[in-house]
A and B are shown apart, each in its own frame.
Chain A
Amino acid sequence: MVHITINGKVVKAAEGEMLLTVLKREGIDIPALCHHEAIEPTGNCRLCMVEISRAEWEGWKKHVTSCLYPVEDGLIVNTHTPEVIEIRKTIIDLQLANCPDSDVIQKMAEEYGIYKTSYETVPEGDNCIMCYACTRICEVLGKSAISAVMRGHKKVIAPPFGEEPPDCIGCLACAQICPTNVIPWTDTDSTRTIWKKTFDLITCTSCGKAVITKDFAEYLMAQRQIPKEYFETCDECKRMATARKMGEIVTKAQEAAL
Chain B
Amino acid sequence: MRMNGAQIIWECLVREGVDTVFGITGGKVIPLYHELPGFPIHHVTMRHEQAAAHAADGYARATGKVGVCVATSGPGATNLVTGIATAQMDSSPIVAITGQVASADLGTDAFQEVDITGITMPITKHNYLVTNVTDLAQALREAFHIARSGHPGAVLVDVTVDAQMGVTEFVYPEDVNLPGYKPHTTGNPRQIAQAAEMINAASRPIIMAGRGVVVAGAGQELTALAEKARIPVVTTLLGKSAIAESNPLYLGMGGMHGEGYTNMALQSADLIVNFGARFDDRFTSTAQTFAPRARVIHVDIDPAEIAKRIRVDMPIVGDALNVLRQLLPLVQEADRGEWMSTIDHWRQETGERSQRWEQSEELVPQHIIRSLSEITHGEAIMVSDVGQNQMWEAQYYTHNRFRGLISSGGLGTMGFGLPASIGAKMGCRDVPVWLVVGDGGIQMTIQELATIRQEGLPIKIALLNNGYLGMVRQWQELFYDKNYCGTPLLGPEFARLAEAYGIAGITVHSKDDVVPALKHAAEVDGPVLIDFRIEQEHNVFPIVPVGRAIDDMIRRPRTDEQPR
Genuine A/B complex = no
Q: What residues make up the interface of A, taking CB atoms closer than 8 Å to B? A: none
